[in-house]
Amino acid sequence: MFVILVYDMGEKRVAKALKRCRKYLNWVQNSVFEGEISETNLAKLKMELDKILVDDEDSVIIYTLRTTHYSKREIMGLRKGGQDLII
């Protein structure tokens, strides 16, 4: 499956979240990741992030797409990481 993951975490936890997300997904820009991931690895990633986040301060949003055939990606402004991956 293809996922887009976005997080908003406290300053002290951002580096830890970045490290965990980069293990499984491609970095796109600040706090945004995307890529193909198995259900098993997504479950692992979610467990790792759950250990880091503080429920009443942080948030993680995961968009799951079964296929990328009907999607389009458009970048405006400064181009950051993950430019080779086009959905």
Per-residue model confidence as pLDDT tens digits over 51-61: 999 999 999 99
Which position has the higher pLDDT, 69 or 62? 62
Tens digit of each residue's pLDDT (9 = 90 or more) over 38-51 = 999 999 999 999 99
Binding residues for Mg(2+): 8
CA distances from 84 to 35, 52, 63, 81, 87 (A): 11, 29, 20, 9, 10
Q: Binding site membership: which residues?
A: 8
Q: Which residue range(s) make up the domain with 27?
A: 2-65
Could you tell me if residue 39 is inside a domain? yes
pLDDT value at residue 82: 60
Q: Is residue 25 part of a domain?
A: yes
Question: Residues near 76 by Cβ (< 8 Å), separated by ≥ 6?
Answer: none
Give the CATH number, domain containing residue 7: 3.30.70.240
Residue 75 pLDDT greater than 50, yes or no: yes
